[in-house]
């Protein structure tokens, strides 16, 4: 497999649903520059960094907005506590951020998915923040498909975006072009967030990677193989969000309605929110539930045709 640098911007296709679908069908992903307002993304970045500062992980001699960590303080954390992100107490504080959850309902995002799906959109409430500290125990997320972790409909799309500018050297997301056409792949255990890696055969497919700026988004369906690049920028923290969206009438697995990390209840997350607009919003939908298939998470033999 080869690597090509640079994403094709699909912003010019907004307003042309058929063109968006054709590109998605070919590549298995869509990169859209500036779908979110930069100021909105940077405001959330500042709130997440403030959580990290409260735990003593940020440098005091540089502006917090630069995202530079105190390597001595970060280095005292056990590797097991940061392998998939930050320790539970800190992650709970991120999950409590109202802006973190409400940004998932930004009108630009919902309008995009309505156009792409051609039907009513359901945003999953199980929003994920990736707060990846510059720690020796933090490994890049291995090549994987999201379906085995989400299930429900394969037509669930992930929206990934960095909280701040994210050059390749900071550890952005890379996409395996056309890999959604290969169906559901077998998995093996691996280091990094999620803990599972797909078996990749010599398909001749190409890894696509590029630089991101605050407001840029990458989105893809559940069978597309993707991975994170390693953080090579010393003391810099890498922040990103994973949100999921699907056509409202397609099935969803029950755990997608629970808070991510299983460390807080929704009542605990909502405590202190200024608005009730997006609290328990999924109860307004007539959702079709799908059963969980635990066998998909088992380690399996490499199967290549």
pLDDT at residue 137, rounded to an integer = 87
Neighbours of 67 (CB within 10 A): 25
> CATH number, domain at 164?
2.60.120.620
Strands 289-290 and 252-253: parallel
For 255-288, write each residue's pLDDT tens digit: 999 999 999 999 999 999 999 999 999 999 999 9
The number of distinct structural domains making up the chain is 1
Q: Could you list the residue range(s) of the whole structural domain that residue 144 is in?
A: 2-297
Considering the domain boundaries, does residue 235 fall inside one? yes
Pick from 78, 41, 75: which is nearest to 159 by CA? 41
Considering the domain boundaries, does residue 23 fall inside one? yes
What is the band of 171 on the pLDDT scale with cuts at 50, 70, 90?
Answer: very high
Interatomic CA distance for residues 270 and 280, integer angstroms: 10
For 37-94, write each residue's pLDDT tens digit: 999 999 999 999 999 999 999 999 999 999 999 999 999 999 888 888 899 999 999 9
Considering the domain boundaries, does residue 107 fall inside one? yes
Measure CA of the first residue to CA of the last residue in the chain; give whole Å.
16
């Amino acid at each position: 497999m080869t690597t090509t640098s640079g994403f094709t911007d699909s912003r010019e296709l907004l307003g042309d649903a058929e063109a968006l679908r054709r590109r998605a069908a070919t590549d298995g992903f869509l990169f859209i520059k500036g779908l979110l307002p930069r100021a909105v993304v940077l405001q959330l970045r500042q709130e997440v960094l403030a959580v990290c500062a409260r735990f003593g992980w940020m440098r005091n001699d540089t502006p917090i907005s630069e995202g530079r960590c105190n390597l001595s303080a970060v280095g005292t954390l056990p590797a097991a506590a940061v392998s998939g992100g930050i320790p539970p107490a800190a992650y709970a504080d991120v999950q409590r951020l109202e802006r973190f959850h409400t940004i998932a309902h930004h009108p630009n995002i919902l309008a995009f998915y309505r156009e792409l799906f051609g039907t009513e959109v359901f945003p999953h409430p199980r929003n994920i923040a990736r707060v990846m500290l510059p720690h020796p125990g933090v490994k890049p997320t291995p090549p994987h498909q999201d379906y085995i972790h989400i299930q429900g409909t394969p037509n669930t799309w992930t929206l990934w975006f960095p909280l701040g500018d994210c050059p390749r050297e900071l550890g952005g997301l890379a996409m395996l072009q056309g890999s959604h056409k290969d169906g559901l792949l077998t998995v093996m255990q691996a280091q990094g967030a999620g803990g599972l890696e797909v078996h990749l055969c010599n398909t001749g497919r190409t890894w696509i990677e590029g630089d991101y700026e605050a407001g840029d988004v990458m989105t893809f369906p559940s069978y597309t193989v993707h991975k994170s690049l390693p953080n090579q920028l010393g003391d810099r923290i890498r922040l990103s969000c994973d949100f999921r969206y699907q056509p409202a009438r397609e099935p969803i697995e029950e755990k997608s309605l629970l808070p991510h990390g299983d460390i807080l209840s929704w009542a605990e997350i909502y405590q202190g929110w200024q608005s009730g607009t997006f609290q328990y919003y999924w109860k307004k939908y007539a959702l079709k539930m799908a059963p969980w298939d635990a066998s998909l998470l088992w380690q399996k033999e490499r199967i290549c045709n």
